[in-house]
Amino acid sequence: MVRSSFAYGAFMIAMFAVMTVFYLHFRPRCSDETLSEQKSPDGRWAAAIMEGRCGEDQPFFTHVNLRAVNDSIGRGYFSGRAVQGEVFLLEQDAHSANVTLHWITPKHLAIACTHCQLAFLQKHMDQWEDVKITYAIGE
């Protein structure tokens, strides 16, 4: 009888763990929304402007992610954030920052952020894979 109680308890703990994993995957704490996406002129790369927030009382984050056109946007299993290919990150909402993308050549992406608050700029890479990235950032 004691063994069956332990077996039942272990089953309940395992079931709780599995349900928690599913809950955290399907209802992530953070969620990114794709606001716009542009393909490179040769159709090889895609650049996406995304916005996310990790709770009602947390700030908005705007980021630009690059990926191969045939790849889907990779999101964290538990977090829901798309960090793979992230080349630009700003702690500001996309609308007020006015972030835009422009492919100059198939290997040169220009990111403009005309109303960015420089104090909140957290990441800006100059190169990703074989894509050169330039910025026009103003306050």
User: Does residue 10 register a pLDDT over 90?
Assistant: no
pLDDT of residue 38: 94
If DSSP states are collapsed to H, E and C, what string results for 55-80?
A: CCCCCEEEEEEEEECCCCCCCCCCCC
Give the CA-trace dihedral at 100, 54, 84, 103, to 10 degrees. 0
pLDDT per residue as tens digits for the range 42-82: 999 999 999 987 777 788 899 999 999 998 777 655 555 77
Tokens representing 32 are 């990114």
pLDDT of residue 23: 57
User: Does residue 2 register a pLDDT over 80?
Assistant: no
